Amino acid sequence: MITLALDTSGPVGSVALRRGGRLLGERTLDTHHHHSALLLPTIDEMLRTHGLAPRDVELWAVGLGPGSYTGIRVGIAAAKGFSLAHGRPLAGAGSVEALALEHGTDGAVAVVVDARREEIYFSLTVAARPLVPLQIVSLDALAGLVTQPALLVGPEIKRYEPEIAKRLGSLARFPKDNIHPRAAFVGELAERRLAQRGRGDEKVEPIYLRETSFKKVKS
C-alpha cells in the first residue's frame, strides 16, 4: 500500500511517503505557520521523486493535532481534497500519538503541546501504552501526573524545559533529536486504523479539547 501522510499541526510540518509499511521519503516544512504555501508543491515533489502521481496513492493520512488549529485545517483540507478527487480512503491520526509512537518504544514518554491560556495539552505513555490520556492541564499539575522518569517531547518543549525541570527535577528527561510530530508516524498510525477498521474515516476533525468560545447570537 502507498500512503501519503501530512502533519501541519505545528510550526514545523512534514510530508511523508510510505509503501508497504516502509518509509520512502519525508520532507520538512519549516514554514512558521505558512504551510498553505508549501504543502501542495512539497506533495507534488515527493510523489514525482518516486515516479508517482496523486492517483497512485492508496491512503491519504493527516495529523489531527492538537496544535495550530489553522495549520491542522490546512492539512485536513489538502488530504481530504486528494482523497475525494481520486476516490481513495482518508484516515486521521493524533499528532500527539505520532510523537509518542516515535519516542515511546520503551520507558515513559510525556508529550507536551502549548494549549495557550498558560496551559498545555498533555499525555503520558509507558512502554507505548497510554497511561494518562490526552488532556489540558497546568504546568503545576505535572508534578502529580509524572511520577517516574519520563522523556518530555513536544514542539514547544525547549521553551517549557526550565519550568518543567523546576517542577519534575530528576524525573524529567529532554530529547536531543526531533521534537515535532512527523508525518512518517502519522502515516503508520493511519495504516493501523485502516487495517483495523477496513475503511477510512468518514469525517476528520482537528483534536481540540476546549469548548468553543463562540456563542450563537439569539435572533
The radius of gyration of the chain from alpha carbons, rounded to an integer in Å, stands at: 18
User: pTM for the whole thing?
Assistant: 0.91
Mean local confidence (pLDDT), 161-174: 96
Give the model confidence (pLDDT) of 49-71 as tens digits.
999 999 999 999 999 999 988 89
In the structure grid, which three cell numbers stand for residue 184, read together? 512518517
**Residue 58 is placed in which grid cell?**
492508496
pLDDT digits (tens, 9 = 90+) for 102-142: 997 788 999 999 998 889 999 999 988 999 999 999 999 99
CA dihedral 29, 183, 119, 31 (to 10 degrees): 0
Which domains are seen in the chain, by residue range? Answer: 2-95+180-197 (3.30.420.40), 103-173 (3.30.420.40)
Question: Mean pLDDT of all residues in the chain?
Answer: 91
Predicted pLDDT of residue 192: 96
User: 59 - beta bridge partners?
Assistant: 3
Dihedral of the alpha carbons of 124, 172, 32, 23, in degrees to the nearest 10: -60
Give the separation between CA 115 and CA 110, rounded to whole angstroms: 15
pLDDT at 31: 62
Sign of the torsion formed by the C-alpha atoms of 49, 51, 53 and 58? negative
Q: How far is CA 5 from the centre of its chain?
A: 10
